[in-house]
Structure 1
Amino acid sequence: MQGLLGTTLILLAACSLAAMATAAFRVPALLGYLSVGVVLGPSVIGVIAPGETLSFLSELGVALLLFMIGLEFSLGDFWLARRTVLMAGALQMIAVAPPLILVLMWLGQPGQSAALLGTAAAMSSTALVSRQLADQGELTTRHGRSAIAVLVFQDLASVPLLALLAIWARGESPKIEHVLLEVFGVLLLFAAAALASRRLLHGLLGWVARRGHEESFVLVSLCVVVAAAAAAHAVGVSAALGAFLAGMVLGESDFRHHMESHLRPFRDVLSGVFFVTIGLQLDAAQILSAPLAVLAWLVVLVPVKILLNTLALRATRLSALDAWRTGIALGHGGEFALLLLGTVLQQHLIPATVVQPMLVALVLSMALAPLLIRHHDVLARFLSRTGGVIQPPQAEEVEIAAQTTRYRDHVIVCGAGELGLPVSEILRHAGVAHLLLEADAQKVEAARAAGAPVFHGDASRPDTLLAAGLTHAHLVVLTFAHAQQALRIAQAIAERRPALTLWVSCRSTTAADAFRAMPNVRVYQQSFAAAIGLAEQVMSTLGMSTELIEGRISAMRRRLDSSRFPGSS
């Protein structure tokens, strides 16, 4: 008991330090957890060794991780974008996996291990890419939509891969009929889970949620994950795959976000244990003795994969610039690949001398991914110019240019969301010539239904702004929630029309200061405007006169303007 407590204390302390360090350097936490496993494992200090307890906790962590990935997978969104998903995703997998498989076979790997390693290398991190693109405000851009489409296909492709791994782990020969039978079993399990979800789980979760017992909801949610994993294991399917399918089924329910917020702490802790157990199995001496193997895999996972991704996406009629952006965003390894390789390593299905360098390179590529995605635009433009590619106009830009030839001295409103649409309505009733640019197809439809002059286009592309008449515009209004996206657009506009007036709506003081440093940019800070409006309503409720309220508000505006307080310019 004393030894177990001491081991737990060391593990928790090391993981805490690793989590803080990775957060400080803005790299994925899994890099820190793997490092903890390597350092504390048998190959370095030897404080902790793989055991049944850690193995069980890591399996539970994997189940929770894949359940959460399944929750984020929307069957409805997949069906709406099925053509894009199937075309872009299939082309990416075909362009990346087969060449890697052939090279591995040429290097002497058996067919089944080459297939597993090559396909695993083709996958990217759904969580990492979607989070980084969301932070940058690029999920609705053309390259953002393409990246998500490829990632959705990769999530679906993991089903036969996990089925193949389950067959292989049982010592059976992974023939095509065995794989098809396993996939058929998975589909039956998915159908049963969907039926149980509609008839049983939705009712149970609804009943618990209505009673407001948070602890009960957390425990029931954990029961759902474990039950799905146990059911899958009972029918001979991967437990992690069962949890993933359960997440997909419940991803369409009203409880998706509720479950996600409650289970996230458990997922983070237990999936951290999984990454630690992978680190425990890595032999530091063996890795250090084969740096060229690690470097070779890193080259495959980043530059080679970026190139193959880009070539595949060009075949989907994506522009060279957007194809490079998407290819760079996907140029790294993913969680499914870690799961596959970790399982292979645990069950000794492929020699450790082959798997370990790839695992290390996989983790390093994921550590590089946020940096690459953050600077993908600069890299993509450089690579496009290096390749001597002349960017053809997109179909959307051609359509916008054709319909806006009559516009002169107009206002371009970028974004048709909760700010852009009301601004458009007021301008329309005032008789001001204007148009809206919006990349999100659903928002475009909603704006058209409201009678707004909206065009489907990505305002972060300078060519789209030029097609919308930037050369003849009177001013531009940016209404994006993401400051980085708005800042990139503002800089692009300043390069082409330095004297053009630009109004920017932003939320944070930091963003407001960045925009104020630019000439001809006027800032509307939402928090300041909301504070002024709220204070006005409070004073009105207290019975103050209109004259007194207006005087107080005007005095506040003047004071804030003179001190350059976040608010107005």
Structure 2
Amino acid sequence: MDTAFLEQILIIFALSIGALALCYRLKIPGIVAFFLAGIIAGPYGLGFITNRADVEILAELGIIFLLFTIGMELSLKSFLEMKKGMLTGGVLQIGITIGVVAVIASALGLAAPEAIFFGMLLAHTSTTVMLTVFQHRGEVDTPPVRLALGISVLQDLSTVPMILLVPMLGGMGSAGVVPSLINFALGLVLLGVVTASALWVVPRLLYRVASLRSRELFMITVIALCLGTAWLTSRAGLSLALGAFLAGLIISESEYSNAALSTVIPFRDVFTSFFFVSMGMLLNTGFFAAHALVIVAIILGVIVLKAIIGAVAVLPAGVSLRTAVLTGLAIGQIGEFAFILSRSGIEYGLLGPDLEQIFLAVSVGTMTVAPFVIGSAPGVTAAVRRLPLPERLRARDAPLKTAPANGPKEGHIIIVGFGPMGRHVAEAARSTGVPYMAVELNPKTVREKRTSGEPIFYGDAANEGVLAHAGIERARVVVVTIPNAATARQVTAIARKMNPECAIVTRTRYMEDSLPLYALGADDVICEEFETAAEVLARVLIKYPVQKSDIDRLVASMRTGNYEMLREASGQVPSLRDIGLHLDNAEISIVRVEKGAPIAGKTLAETDLRRRYAVTVLAIRRGAETLAGPDGGTLIEAGDLCILVEAGQKNEEVSSLFRPGPEA
């Protein structure tokens, strides 16, 4: 083996480790780290690698495996599930971007084919970068992010027809257009072959291989299908990347696609890193230094242009201004598939040396600042709302003009977000007779739930007008269930400003987000990360001979330590539940006095709860009135809510006092 080649591989890995660690600390996407490693190691950096051809071979394999996995992750069913917003928004975004960029590029002196091709490059967004940013923010499951990711996936898929169109663009105005048309037709024929293979040939082949139960045989077969299809398309005059994508599509419809995907992913991750390193090696640092101001201006221009186009493209789907702005900012960077497409453009003379350098620098720049651009969404949304927009657009962020007929008037719960958590809160409130009103940003959810009689309306709760419509001034509790940490902070701050007396319970995913929420006025912050740890602790200990009371005590101690620490740091007073955690061998409960119960119509002295059952009544809630610290002469009435501290072991006997007996 050539030791020089091995030395180059080691240099790339060593530089990548350092660059990845740096980017992780700066919260910059990992793809940028590979670009940085390539810039440092390449001929325009420190010159550690002089023979770029060896790296190019590994980079080519990276492209093949990347497109192969994309093809396997896609199926016709999942494509159709992208629905109106993603399909319409994605098609409009791609078409408008290509058209606008082509016009601007033509005005700057590029020929029509080159201008169109540059528009095709800028139409792409990095799905990997977007996923990394939103996973770190804990927002992948939110409707705006799902919309942005769906558009990004559609952009990735558009690379395939674009690769087929590149030879036609390269042959425009010359005799080469006829061969290009032939290649395009050949590509369509290959798609037909792929369909036939996916339906009849490959599933049978993989079944035969899988039945032998050899992991090595299955892995080699999958890789052979990938490389073999790529080789065939290359021999037919089409690109290797197209063949790899088609091979992935062939396997995607078989029942073995998941096993095949898990087999290939390690190869994809390793070889794809070489692809981005090789692209970094192409970046001429001297050219960048000489044109730094121009490149920075183009980076800003591309982000702004793509953000505006992305926001406009999704408006026909009826989304809110906030969703449109976030979608536009999320797709503001240039994606990895643009680099794959650029290789074809270089091959057919559509991307000259200077234009290639600008493209590389701008792409890396947009990826680097992507987390900060996405993080600016709340501020940008607020600025957009101040613009003189058409009333029709403003109405999308406003609540429905008429509240639901069964909506509460006062003393109710406002549920912000009607996902699984919000629905559980609503169900509990409904079953106990507590009035509530829900605010949701997903129009489909609002439409479905309103037809079933839910007191719910459409609106962005980060807007004061929406909370006012929900009756924030008269609400007793606000429950913020949305996973977006930034939006949760906004809603908490606005709710506290509009109603200083209401209780605010906010959900968050990570402990690090809890303290800012307390500081903004939240009374309770329920942290998923911590609650999961507490539940895991309980489930683990219950497998051992540990008493349930000891498990409960440990979990309670765990909760007390963490939540109390956060409240002390934020200056919040303890809640009723926290007081209960400090009372050893005691439990706080709230019990309703039912009609016909033995205790109804008696005074506390007559019930003798403290002496007979070791139960103390802390307070009684009667309608809108709270009787704190009731004395022995306080009469207990049917319908009262009694807050009890139980220190005894006669829980069932005590509970029977608050409900009617068998003879009632």
In which range does the TM-score fall when normalised by the shorter chain?
0.7 to 0.9
Aligned counterparts of 2:354 and 2:477: Cα–Cα separation in 1: 61
Q: 1:27 to 1:284 in 2, by over 3 A?
A: same
**What residue in structure 1 maps to residue 23 of structure 2?**
22
Letter in 2 for 1:5: L
1:500 correspondence with 2:517: no
Q: 1:217 to 1:270 in 2, by over 3 A?
A: same
> How big is the shift at 1:117?
0.9
Residue pair 1:75, 1:248 contacting (<8 A) in 2 also: no
**What residue in structure 2 maps to residue 302 of structure 1?**
303
Count of residues in correspondence between the two structures: 565
Residue pair 1:297, 1:358 contacting (<8 A) in 2 also: no
> How big is the shift at 1:156?
3.8
1:502 alignment partner, SS class: strand
Aligned counterparts of 1:540 and 1:294: Cα–Cα separation in 2: 61
| Stretch moving more, 179-188 or 353-362 | 179-188
1:397 alignment partner, SS class: coil
Letter in 1 for 2:163: L
Letter in 2 for 1:238: S
Aligned counterparts of 1:174 and 1:87: Cα–Cα separation in 2: 36
Give matches, 1:543-554, under 5 Å: 549-550=548-549, 553=552
Give matches, 1:140-539, under 5 Å: 143-166=144-167, 182-202=183-203, 218-248=219-249, 250=251, 259-314=260-315, 318-345=319-346, 349-385=350-386, 392-394=394-396, 397-398=399-400, 401-403=403-405, 405-439=407-441, 453=454, 455=456, 457=458, 461-462=462-463, 464-481=466-483, 483-526=485-528
2:399 alignment partner, SS class: helix
Aligned counterparts of 1:134 and 1:244: Cα–Cα separation in 2: 26
> How big is the shift at 1:12?
1.9
Aligned counterparts of 2:396 and 2:374: Cα–Cα separation in 1: 23
Could you say which structure has the larger radius of gyration? 2
Aligned counterparts of 2:523 and 2:316: Cα–Cα separation in 1: 39
Aligned counterparts of 1:146 and 1:526: Cα–Cα separation in 2: 24
Residue pair 1:303, 1:331 contacting (<8 A) in 2 also: yes
> How big is the shift at 1:61?
0.5
- Tell me the TM-score normalised to structure 1 length: 0.83
Q: 1:275 to 1:552 in 2, by over 3 A?
A: closer
Q: 1:156 to 1:559 in 2, by over 3 A?
A: closer
2:351 alignment partner, SS class: coil
Aligned counterparts of 2:10 and 2:69: Cα–Cα separation in 1: 27
1:350-399 Cα shifts (integer Å, max 9, x gaps):
32012211211111011111110122121232244256777622289317
Letter in 2 for 1:496: M
Aligned counterparts of 1:501 and 1:355: Cα–Cα separation in 2: 57
Aligned counterparts of 2:513 and 2:304: Cα–Cα separation in 1: 33
1:228-252 Cα shifts (integer Å, max 9, x gaps):
4234324333221232344456556
> How big is the shift at 1:277?
1.7
| Stretch moving more, 172-181 or 83-92 | 172-181
Letter in 2 for 1:425: E
Letter in 2 for 1:429: S
1:88-112 Cα shifts (integer Å, max 9, x gaps):
2333234332232123223332221
| Stretch moving more, 150-159 or 114-123 | 150-159
| Stretch moving more, 96-105 or 65-74 | 65-74
> How big is the shift at 1:436?
4.6
Residue pair 2:408, 2:437 contacting (<8 A) in 1 also: no
1:300 alignment partner, SS class: helix
Q: 1:380 to 1:164 in 2, by over 3 A?
A: same
Q: 1:480 to 1:266 in 2, by over 3 A?
A: farther
Residue pair 1:41, 1:48 contacting (<8 A) in 2 also: yes
2:84 alignment partner, SS class: helix
% identity of equivalent residues:
24
Letter in 2 for 1:431: G
1:101 correspondence with 2:102: yes
Q: 1:188 to 1:494 in 2, by over 3 A?
A: farther
Q: 1:424 to 1:227 in 2, by over 3 A?
A: farther
Q: 1:92 to 1:15 in 2, by over 3 A?
A: same
| Stretch moving more, 350-359 or 289-298 | 289-298
| Stretch moving more, 123-132 or 402-411 | 402-411
Residue pair 1:341, 1:359 contacting (<8 A) in 2 also: no
> How big is the shift at 1:163?
0.7
Letter in 2 for 1:501: A
Structure 1 unaligned blocks of 5 or more: none
Question: Which protein has greater RCO, CA pairs closer than 8 Å, 6+ apart?
Answer: 1
Structure 2 unaligned blocks of 5 or more: 567-576, 579-664
Residue pair 1:140, 1:440 contacting (<8 A) in 2 also: no
1:66 correspondence with 2:101: no
Aligned counterparts of 1:549 and 1:370: Cα–Cα separation in 2: 45
2:394 alignment partner, SS class: coil
Q: 1:550 to 1:528 in 2, by over 3 A?
A: farther
> How big is the shift at 1:162?
0.7
Q: 1:555 to 1:457 in 2, by over 3 A?
A: same
> How big is the shift at 1:58?
0.9
Aligned counterparts of 1:542 and 1:40: Cα–Cα separation in 2: 55
More helix by share: 1
Aligned counterparts of 2:256 and 2:438: Cα–Cα separation in 1: 34
1:401 alignment partner, SS class: coil
Aligned counterparts of 1:559 and 1:99: Cα–Cα separation in 2: 57
